[in-house]
A and B are shown apart, each in its own frame.
Chain A
Amino acid sequence: MSGRATPIALLALSLSCGGSREPMPPGRHALRPVALPDLSRASESVARQLRDAHVSLTRTLAEVSRTDAELGRAYGQMAMLLMAAEYRDEAEACFLDAQGLAPDEVRWPYYLGHLYKARGETLKSAAAFAQALRLQPDDPPTLVWLANAYLDQGRPEAAEPLLNKVLAQQPRSAVALFGLGRAALARSDYRGAVQRLEQALSLAPQAALIQYPLALAYRGAGDLDKAEAHMRQRGPGELRPPDPLMLELDRLLESAVAYEVRGAKALDDRDWKAAAASFRKGIELAPNEPSLHHKLGTALFMSGDARGASEQFEAALRLSPTFAKAHYSLGVIMGASGRPREAIQHLSAAVRDDPTYAEARLRLGDVLRRSGRAAESLPLYEQAETLDPRTADAPLGYALALVTLRRYQDARARLIAAMDGHPDYAVFAHTLVRLLAAAPDDRVRDGRAAMTLMQQLLAKEPQTPEIDEVMAMTLAELGQYGEAITRQREAMAAAERAGRPDRARQMAANLALYERHLPCRTPWTDEDALMPW
């Protein structure tokens, strides 16, 4: 495709930064003039940054009194910006020039290592990191990244000494231990992998990504129970070494997208303040971008500022009236603050604007159910379940709506089906037990079935006031009032100890029934306790 002949494009003809892919020999005569790529598709802020950096570099180049080191720095700064903006080819050439001018500067081969890594050029990446290591032999992040490159090459034996070097400096480095665990797995040394990964986990228990390789290590070692246990705890995430140089690069770009990415990362790290700060900066650059307002609102909400969050969600809607996520978020806030009418309005809008928004349907169903409009909630729960059969909340909500409508038989059938479809969700069993023990409908109650279920629950779960309460219901239904009374008192005492005297007071009504040898006929006194908003 022919390019448009703009002044910048003309400059770019055959004059890309460096041009070749080999390091330039020292000496200014070997350097080529620098040109920028066409920035017409970049955002204004990024284009301005790159142009300013280019001007600065050009000026530095023109000053013959500048040392090679200074010139190298100028090239390097330009390269960093180009790399942050993902102009990787241009960045590579600039880094190579910088490296040629300042061969003792560790940053340039280090960044080249990351650049090649991003392009999937592992051998080049490893060579660049190795060069950086020669300049700074004990640098932990460089050791880790080079080790990772060796693992990518199927060379765990080359990776391990590097990671052990990190460990020697930083005995509590979860990153190094994680790497050593991966290396051991690569060698099929499962017991070794278990040891290292368990150590890593103990140092970084929040790093859920360790769980999966640890599970595989246990599996390889023949311990399937532990493998399954760790598999259940797996989660996403990254385990990176503290990397000041990459942090510097990541913070370089002044673009709304860059701030949005930083903010999203902070959200993942649960650093709400940092997230909000990043999103605010993004909004300064792109004030009409609704997703930035929405994300800022999310960060504010998570940090407890519901009012600030609402303002941002409303700003998002002013910019994009059919922004379903903003409607949803406002619906959540309204619902939580006891304003069901507004909640219904916004959640309905979310559903209307995005018919595939399962979560919005679910929440709307909940609000309708709690607002005395349970019949209207039923189709919403059904639709939510159709859209996303993975979620257990939809069938649960449906069952609770049926209970609200006193359709106890239907509720029981739903809960039994849901237990089959979601065997890992104990909430269905909990709900069903209450129904079987205390439903006002004689056709639905079945004390023996309730007791069977209770015993299954007790085998898997710790004793809680809620479990005791339901056990008491069940015992009462079976006519075992003495035991029911004991259990109910235990439940009340446990609630008190847990700092929930209100709960204990609620349970007193059932205690009085059992003392009069009467069973309970109200499965729930407050369903909010079962399905918190």
Chain B
Amino acid sequence: MGSPERAVPALALTFALLAGCGDRPRATRADAADAGRDQPWFIDAAPQSGLIFTHFNGMSGDFYYPEIMPPGVALFDYDNDGDLDVFIVQGRMLGDKPLGAAMFPPRDPSSLRGRLFRNDLEIHADGTRTLHFTDVTELSGIDARGYGMGAAVGDFDNDGCADLYVTNLGSNQLFRNNCDGTFTDVTKASGTAGSGWSVSAAFVDFDRDGRLDLFVGHYLNYRVTENIQCFGMAGGPDYCPPHVYTAQPSRLYRNNGNGTFTDVTAAAGMAGEFGPALGVATADFNGDGWIDIYVANDGQPNQLWINQRNGTFKNAALLAGAALSADGEAKSSMGVDAGDFDNDGDEDLFITELTGQGVDLYVNNGSGVFEEQSARTGLRLASLPSTGFGTAWLDVDNDGWLDLLTVNGAVTQNVGAVARHETFSLQQRKQLFRNTGQGRFEEVTERAGAVFRQADVSRGAAFGDIDNDGDIDVVVGTASGPLRLFVNNVGQRKHWIGLRLVGQQTRRDMLGARVAIVRSDGVTVWRRSRSDGSYASANDPRVLAGLGDSSTPPTVRVLWPDGRAEQWRGVAIDRYTTLQQGSGTATERAGR
């Protein structure tokens, strides 16, 4: 670990791939599969595209717990030019040791702050793409110099420009997007600084007032000066497990609409139950049209906060079967995502776990009652050797079925590797699981590309269509390592539909809006606009759904977060379409 970055010039990367013009014959499912066997599904385009960043976790041999937790990443279109930009948090030294005592000192100590990379995507007339990123941190005014953990994105002031919330060890920061390429730190004024240690956060309009509120997952009561020394069985020092510290209560902030937020955690009924929160996903889990909040806690029961529709929540996780493993074990629960993997119209949950614990797949029965089925679906076996962090449901090959991608990295040292003098020996490979469409998953990591076989200490992962070619790409944050950009090579071989769902009064992304895409073959695929989920990261809020071989423009029905529903017929495929609330045909909020 800590391998030096190769000095690759920041060349623009030109793709010889065709984008959604629709004028070339689409590969069949079999063709795509065959092609996939020969060609990597993902390639790492970070260095060539200028996305050059190495995370610094400040490790100096003292095994400070926070060293193993970040970094999270964010994908969001900060400049509203139609493509996704990248933000990643940065670390700093912990404790009293000077920078020179760091095991892997940063090349440029003055650059130790969270960084914003602007995507200067060019789509040429022939459909080829040039991906190029420019570090615009200085220009942006984002001054995030704390010990960064993760990021959440949402337009909290409804001005049409996505804002950024950075979680830290210490106070968090809220950066308001000024819509001119710059941001202003409005943390103090907003009242969302918090304190302590936060990891994942999510913007969510829980009270249907049209304004995005903010849920912040807090982790542990921890102070660097009181860092506890832990040891492995052989007596060598190692990182501690979470139970040596106590959990910190998470926070729910209600947006007051005037640039300020009010901490309504207690008023919302959420103060009495909490754990060391790592992953957060918001979705309507019980199908009543109101957004709920799922919190994955490290070593303690998870919470499923069901929206009571009156400003309060009730934790239904235990009886819903989503708090613990099937055996009643409180697992480590790092990354989480909600998605309809079985196309039955409800939101299922997937959670990444520690080596030996196996992932969790909580299958929703439609009313917010879950059954854990990771073993039955084939996920458990392949996941047992890994410690997973960032993750998401994504239709990698656009066949209409949601697949799973996990980025992995251990949290305690491989003693044998330490004996071989491998520092920070936590590296693990990433994994890709393809949904067979028959209630099972097959691991296809070997086909996914060399980038998946590269072992990293992966943490945050943000998912989105970075090159706007109709398939989901991934940006991965590596603890004490390079930022990775995995560009998807296969999804655009199938038909797809891309939707940006924006509000009526404001053009902000309507996070939480659910979409039913009714294909010509009668199959309805449900997706959701969301930026939360994964681990400490923020995703592309656009909806991208694979249509497989279906080439007929489908009917799209949107269930807006405020409870209204609209429909559009014949929505164009193989391109992105913006659907503004109020511009469709009002319809009943039928089905899921």
Contact = CB atoms under 8 A, between A and B. Distances in A.
Interface of A: 1-4, 37-39, 41-46, 84-90, 117-123, 151-154, 182, 185-186, 188, 209-213, 215-216, 219-220, 224, 227-228, 231, 234, 236, 253, 255-258, 261, 353-354, 356, 358, 387-390, 421-422
The 9 closest A-B pairs by CB, nearest first: A43-B235, A212-B328, A120-B384, A37-B419, A120-B385, A356-B221, A41-B236, A154-B375, A389-B271
A211 B375 CA distance: 21
B277 to A, nearest CB: 14
A4 B420 CA distance: 9
A117 B420 contact: no
Contacts of B422: 1
Chain A CB count within 10 A is highest, among B232, B235, B378, B420, for B235
Contact of A152 (B319, B384, B416): B384
A123 B233 contact: no
A119 B357 CA distance: 10
B15 interface: no
B427 to A, nearest CB: 12
A182 B416 contact: no
Interface string B266-285: 10000111100000000000
Contacts of A88: 415-416
B328 A211 contact: yes
B235 A42 contact: yes
B359 to A, nearest CB: 11
A154 B377 contact: yes
Chain B CB count within 10 A is highest, among A182, A227, A255, for A255
A258 B232 CA distance: 9
A358 to B, nearest CB: 7
14 contacts: A1-B422, A3-B420, A41-B419, A152-B358, A152-B381, A153-B375, A185-B326, A209-B328, A212-B324, A231-B319, A234-B324, A388-B246, A421-B266, A422-B272
B6 interface: no
Contact of A38 (B266, B319, B421): B421
Given A152-B380, A255-B233, A388-B246, 20 more contacts: A4-B421, A37-B415, A37-B416, A41-B235, A41-B236, A43-B236, A46-B233, A86-B415, A88-B415, A90-B416, A120-B358, A120-B384, A152-B375, A154-B381, A185-B326, A188-B371, A209-B327, A236-B329, A390-B272, A390-B273
Nearest to B420: A3
B234 A85 contact: yes
Chain A interface, >50% SS class: helix
Chain B CB count within 10 A is highest, among A212, A228, A253, for A212
Nearest to B378: A154
Nearest to B415: A86
Interface string B414-437: 011011111100000000000000
Contact of B235 (A37, A236, A257, A356): A257
B32 interface: no
A419 to B, nearest CB: 12
B330 A236 contact: yes
Chain B CB count within 10 A is highest, among A216, A234, A390, A421, for A216
Given A120-B384, A421-B266, A85 B375 contact: no
Contact of A153 (B232, B273, B355, B381): B381
A449 B248 CA distance: 37
A151 to B, nearest CB: 6
A383 to B, nearest CB: 13
A258 B274 contact: no
A327 to B, nearest CB: 13
Contacts of A219: 319, 321, 369
